[in-house]
Amino acid sequence: MNQKQALVKMENIQKRFGKVRALKGVDFEVYEQEVVGLLGDNGAGKSTLIKILSGVYRPDKGNIYIQGKKVEINSPEEARELGIETVHQDLSLIEKMSVARNFFLGKEPTKKIGTLEVLDLRKMNRECMSGLKQVGIELRSPTEFVSTLSGGQRQAIAIGRAVYFGAQILILDEPLRNLSIREQRTILNHIQEARKQGSSVIFITHNVHHVCPVADRIVLLENGEKLGEVKAGELTPEEIAECIANGQMIEKAK
């Protein structure tokens, strides 16, 4: 599965907020059609790292390469143009808007009426329903407000949207938080479905049991530094949790 060239390569990434050094030179790679777990305790720098990749923050130092080409990501808009779709925790959908309007936010389809460029609402409603259906989500109506949906449905819509737009790199920040066990199961299926359709997935969590069922590889962060990484099956979830608790890798992993 791991090809020679990484799809994403982040090199010596550093970021500081005032006096706090959130990232102290982190290297991080993602390969084609890979699910990478990014694991670490609260404050380890996971969210900061992926917010740099998704264009929310700019790194103080370090380089980002996509398919070997050096890129600069200055805004979420630019990240999306590079095929990086992010589902931030609690931040991805706007409750006071309809599902269809949310679905196409930032990439709205338009049609021409004379010289006027207007939203293609019919297309938005239709494609939103069929796009979500592809990832196994069925909604009653695309004009429903997001606020009427459950947490699991919202998460599923956010992921479905990212897959619909053909994300090369799909970043999920704590996608299982506050979900019921059945909803968690469904989201994990969506993640596998996304990989099958050609996406690479970065799965951020602080809960090792969330990520172990789907990850091909797990990268451990601690205090803004990379602690190490584990291939699927090399360590048990309990051993990985132990690494995080102790702040050092178990030797047999290497």
Residues that bind another protein (CB under 8 A): 54, 56, 75-77, 79-80, 86, 88, 91-97, 100-101, 104-108, 110, 117-119, 121-122, 125-126, 128-129, 136-143, 145, 147-148, 150, 152-153, 156, 180, 182-183, 186
Closest CB 86 distance from another protein, rounded Å: 6
Which value, in Å, is the radius of gyration of the alpha carbons in the chain? 19
- Cβ distance to another protein smaller for residue 27 or 95: 95
- Cβ distance to another protein smaller for residue 88 or 217: 88
Helix axes 121-134, 151-164, angle to 10 degrees: 100
Tell me the torsion sign for CA atoms 96, 57, 29, 165. positive
- Cβ distance to another protein smaller for residue 33 or 92: 92
Contact between 196 and 173 (Cβ < 8 Å): no
- Cβ distance to another protein smaller for residue 155 or 205: 155
Rounded Cα distance, 187 and 93, in Å: 16
Closest CB 254 distance from another protein, rounded Å: 37
Q: Which tokens belong to 63?
A: 């380089």
Closest CB 200 distance from another protein, rounded Å: 19
Closest CB 38 distance from another protein, rounded Å: 17
Closest CB 230 distance from another protein, rounded Å: 29
Helix axes 181-196, 151-164, angle to 10 degrees: 0
Rounded Cα distance, 224 and 231, in Å: 21
- Cβ distance to another protein smaller for residue 2 or 105: 105
Return the DSSP state at 56: S
